[in-house]
Amino acid sequence: MIKIKIITPGNIGIIESDAGHALLDILRKNGYEIYAPCGGKGTCGKCLVTVKGEGEIISCQYYPDKNIEVILPGEDEANILVHQTEYLEDIPCEKGADYISQNPYGVAIDIGTTTVVLYFLNLLTGQIEKISSFMNPQKTYGADVITRINYCQEHKNGLTELKKLIVDAINKELEIFKQKQELNPANFEKIVITGNTTMLHVFLGEDPLSIALAPFKPKFIEKQVKKGHSTGLNINTDAEVVTLPCISAFVGADIVAGLAALKVPQKNYLFLDIGTNGEIALITGDKIITCATAAGPAFEGANLSCGMGALYGAISGFTSQKDYQVIGNSEPGGICGSGIIDIVAYLIMNDLIDETGLLKETFVIHHENNIQVTQQDIREIQLAKSAIYSGIKILMNRAGLSYHSIDALYLAGGFGNYININSAIQIGLLPFELGDKIYPVGNSAVIGALQYLKSDEFGEKIDKILHKSQYIELSDVNEFTMEFALNMDFRKSAF
């Protein structure tokens, strides 16, 4: 018998089970509802739960054999996961392709500046057998891409060091999977990688310096195809390693893959990925206009006095009754992006900060653990939210559109899953006018890479997107500075 501790928002329970059953079945048997659109076949990758110490796992493919702690998504998150299926492609795996080994696997990888996500796909059955994620180990060399580019420039072996860090970290994940499934490196036959332009340069060992200097021309933006070991990955020597194409220095393959992964009937829509850079696309009929705006790492908690990533122990939500939620229902250790957005919205609504962002006094959330929000934190949030909002505004002006004609705003990335949209509107990060048309779509970048792994036709969708895309460099746009200054203030809106 094994014991499974189940943590849900506001509740902790313990269940017992025999070993050898799929976690999804155990949870269902005990009355926990898990969203499982493919019915436990392992093909949709949606039945995700978090196992403490292991991260997010596909519950229908996970067979616990020891005591574990499981964090289930909250009701809101579960609802978001349900909706994501509507918005993102899930195409069948093409059969009959010529594989080298008898048991071929593909891996879709999103190399984010902060987090790296891998989907392991059995190329014969079309089953996603594992999803894993880890913090990008380059993080200790800088929270954003510019700091990492500087590191490459200022240190003789900087680029080699950073490349080695990411390649070794991916190899470690490949190794864990390989051992568990009793495979050998030759079984990894196809790797599809997405990420921002800098991350792809560093992964391939290409000098990223020109990304950071005007006129911001990367060494490459096109799709790159490499063979097996040449990338340093421990895979089949004849495997194909593809890095997906980018649009510009700051609108990367993550946006391209994400846009391609969207299946939307709308005519005019915005697509927004908020990380250390806000990457924004406005799609209008046959045109796609894109821009990128430096939001800084505030929404990832990096430069806030009590900031932390969206990890166990982070305050991830704050209500009008001054209650807070902590990831994993544990003692709070800091505040993550979604938490700070809620807290700032609360401060605005309760007149604890004025329109200019002046904080009456440091706002203490947890005395014993010394968790508080300072004036400097508010300034960081003002800079970040104005950068994003102003970028959206510039694209709207360029297209000559008002928010009235926009059918939807899709929020990509993990961040979009957790933020309270009303709070994001309240602080002026997202447009008030689009209040009921904002939809989180999850990690659309890795889902795009996964579809590319499954079918060659998906590549054509990507080509069409590239063909229609135009990039606007905001530092060349005079009105951006004015918009940026104008949008720093907070305005109270009523919900």
Q: List residues near ligand FES by CB under 6 A.
A: 36-38, 40-47, 58, 60
The answer for residues whose C-beta is within 8 angstroms of residue 401's C-beta and 6 or more apart is 268, 282, 284
Select 57 or 235, whichever has its Cβ closest to ligand FES.
57
Q: Least distance from C-beta 122 to ligand FES, angstroms? A: 12
- Are 310 and 338 in contact by the 8 Å Cβ rule? The answer is yes
Select 25 or 463, whichever has its Cβ closest to ligand FES.
25
Q: What are phi and psi of 433, to 5 degrees?
A: -65, -20
Select 47 or 242, whichever has its Cβ closest to ligand FES.
47
The answer for residues whose C-beta is within 8 angstroms of residue 379's C-beta and 6 or more apart is 357
User: Residue 118: which of 384, 407, 446, 363 has the closest Cα?
Assistant: 446
Strand order in the sheet with 438-442: 438-442, 408-412, 268-274, 277-284, 287-294, 469-471
Could you tell me if residue 173 is left (phi over 0), alpha (psi between -120 and 50 degrees) or otherwise beta?
Answer: alpha
Q: Least distance from C-beta 145 to ligand FES, angstroms? A: 33
Q: Least distance from C-beta 195 to ligand FES, angstroms? A: 24
User: Residue 334: which of 377, 294, 288, 385 has the closest Cα?
Assistant: 377
Q: Both ends of the chain: CA-CA distance in Å? A: 49
Select 45 or 232, whichever has its Cβ closest to ligand FES.
45
Select 38 or 165, whichever has its Cβ closest to ligand FES.
38
Ranges assigned E (strand) in 144-267: 188-195, 224-227, 240-243
By DSSP bridging, strand 2-8 and strand 68-71 are parallel
Q: Least distance from C-beta 410 to ligand FES, angstroms? A: 22
Q: Least distance from C-beta 417 to ligand FES, angstroms? A: 18
Which amino acid would we find at residue 397? N
Q: Rounded CA gap, 348 and 342, in Å? A: 10
Q: Rounded CA gap, 25 and 18, in Å? A: 11
Tracing tokens 């400097």 back to the chain, one arrives at: 376
Select 58 or 170, whichever has its Cβ closest to ligand FES.
58
Select 56 or 463, whichever has its Cβ closest to ligand FES.
56
Select 43 or 197, whichever has its Cβ closest to ligand FES.
43
Q: Least distance from C-beta 59 to ligand FES, angstroms? A: 6
Q: Least distance from C-beta 259 to ligand FES, angstroms? A: 24
Residue count of the chain: 495
Q: Least distance from C-beta 37 to ligand FES, angstroms? A: 6
Q: Write the DSSP symbol of residue 56.
A: E
Tracing tokens 């606007």 back to the chain, one arrives at: 472
Select 49 or 288, whichever has its Cβ closest to ligand FES.
49
- Are 75 and 9 in contact by the 8 Å Cβ rule? The answer is yes
Which amino acid would we find at residue 157? N
Select 59 or 420, whichever has its Cβ closest to ligand FES.
59
The answer for residues whose C-beta is within 8 angstroms of residue 16's C-beta and 6 or more apart is 1, 2, 3, 4
Q: Least distance from C-beta 436 to ligand FES, angstroms? A: 29
Q: Least distance from C-beta 33 to ligand FES, angstroms? A: 12
